[in-house]
Amino acid sequence: MNELSIDEVLAEVAVLVKPHFGKGRVPDYIPQLATVPGTKFGMAVRTVDGGEHAIGDADEGFSVQSITKVLSLGLALNRIGDEVWTRVGKEPSGTPFNHLSLLEAEGGFPRNPFINAGALAVTDILLDKVKDPAALVRGFAGFLADGPVAIDEAVAASELDNAWQNRAIANLMRGKGTVRHDPEAVVAAYSRQCALTMSCRQLARAFLPLAAGGFSPLVQETIFPERLTRRLNALLLTCGIYDSVGSFAYRVGLPAKSGVGGGVVAVVPGKATVAVWSPELDRFGTSVVGARALEAFSQLTNCSVL
């Protein structure tokens, strides 16, 4: 990947996605997110050899929401290792990210760490180690992005005020023993974690270790063992885009994680990370324009891992 070619690709992607604006809708179940204009679009690429490329609103911060689940999982795995998998599974869910029926049928054991039940279980694990998991995730994200990032307290409050489904999930898991702390404390910590604000450029930087075998060329430190990096990428490929993960893999072919704030981050192993932001979501909770942008990027660069 050379600088000119990536810049040209980003410019072409920006043109190709224009017809897809208006095909999704900005989420309103978290009222604070509904205030963001649906026409926003930013994209950033960070290569393992130090190149950085951006277009559009790539430096505007937005609520990264479920993308933080990757960071919290990485922190939990680095701290307690495979014991994490005694509390959460590794299988695609095939149901919406906040679904209850499958969780109840399977005894309160979440299918994977990227649905809300799994992320709440990971937050519960982190509460064993720290008093403020959201601050831990914020600090980790800022370290990886090589700059400060913040939690938007207004978004956190809006999310917590409307977290009835997550409260139901946490209470169900508390009854089954998967969650061991006060469910309200778990939901509050998770809500603040999801309210982390980052830009596309910062997200591309933060996810760079997943493209570089666990090493961050940006901060010059090994963040994850190589074996764990491969496993995180495998989980992103199979579980990162909720119950549309098969369609996304078919179209894009890259490990990725989406969030209802409109962000999507994808990993090109050995080469780069790509972050996109556009707030209008499809019915599965993934950015319509973001997914289309990554599909076009994958095709134009022939970087699919499949």
Q: Is 70 exceeded by the pLDDT of residue 120?
A: yes
User: Are residues 189 and 259 located together in one domain of the fold?
Assistant: no
Same domain for 192 and 86: yes
Tell me the DSSP string of 96-139.
-TT--HHHHHTTT--S-TTSHHHHHHHHHHHHTT-S-HHHHHHH
**Residues 33 and 45 grouped into a single domain:** yes
Asked if 169 and 96 count as a contact pair (C-beta separation under 8 A), the reply is: no
For residues 61-80, average pLDDT: 97
How many structural domains does the chain have?
2
Q: Are 227 and 117 members of one domain? A: no
Instruction: Pick the last residue of a domain from 196, 216, 247.
Output: 196
**Predicted local distance difference test score (pLDDT) of residue 183:** 98
Residues 94 and 136 in one domain: yes
Q: Which two tokens stand for residue 241?
A: 């885009």
Q: Which of 170, 196, 222 is the last residue of a domain?
A: 196
275 DSSP β-pair partners: 44, 265
**Are both 30 and 86 inside the same structural domain?**
no
Residue found under tokens 């666990």: 214
Question: Which residue is associated with the tokens 């939690």?
Answer: 151
Feature table: binding site: 66, 116, 159, 166, 190, 242, 260
Write out the H or E segment, with its range, that includes residue 258: strand 256-258
Residues in binding site for substrate: 66, 116, 159, 166, 190, 242, 260
| Region of residue 20 (left: phi > 0; alpha: psi -120 to 50; beta: else) | alpha
Tokens of 249: 């893999």
Residue 249 and residue 103 share a domain: no
Confidence check: pLDDT of 27 > 90: no
Output the furthest CA–CA distance in the chain (Å, rounded): 56
Q: What is the CATH number of the domain that holds 208?
A: 3.40.710.10
Residues 187 and 232 placed together within one structural domain of the fold: no
**Residue 122 confidence (pLDDT) above 60:** yes
If asked whether residues 19 and 125 sit together in one domain, one would say no
Q: State which of 138, 164, 196 marks the end of a domain.
A: 196
Where does residue 95 rank: exposed (0-12), middle (13-18), buried (19+ CB within 10 A)?
middle
- Check: CB of residue 112 under 8 Å from CB of residue 105: no
The model's pTM: 0.94
134-167 residue pLDDT tens: 999 999 999 999 999 999 999 999 999 999 999 9
Instruction: Give the residue with greater pLDDT, 231 vs 100.
Output: 231
Whether residue 3 has pLDDT greater than 70: no
Do the Cβ atoms of 179 and 186 come closer than 8 Å?
A: yes
pLDDT tens digits along 217-275: 999 999 999 999 999 999 999 999 988 889 999 999 999 999 999 999 999 999 999 99
Residues 106 and 181 in one domain: yes
Q: Which residues pair with 54 in a beta bridge?
A: 44
- C-alpha to C-alpha distances, 258 to 33, 157, 289, nearest whole angstrom: 15, 21, 12
Beta-carbon contacts of residue 261 (< 8 Å; ≥ 6 apart): 33, 36, 62, 63, 64, 65, 67, 277, 279
Helix (H) or strand (E) holding 197: strand 196-198
Would you say residue 1 has pLDDT above 80?
Answer: no
Provide the CB-side half-sphere exposure for 134 (13 A, CA).
Answer: 21
Percentage of residues in the chain with pLDDT exceeding 70? Answer: 97
Region 98-123: what's the mean pLDDT? 90
What's the pLDDT score for residue 97?
Answer: 60
Same-domain pairing of 225 and 172: no
Short-list 85, 110, 82, 69, CA closest to 236? 69
C-alpha torsion 298→193→70→122, nearest 10 = -150
Instruction: Please state, in angstroms and rounded to a whole number, the distance separating the CA atoms of residues 271 and 40.
Output: 27
Which residue segment(s) compose the domain that 111 sits in? 65-196
pLDDT at 81: 94
Clarify whether residues 235 and 123 are in a common domain.
no
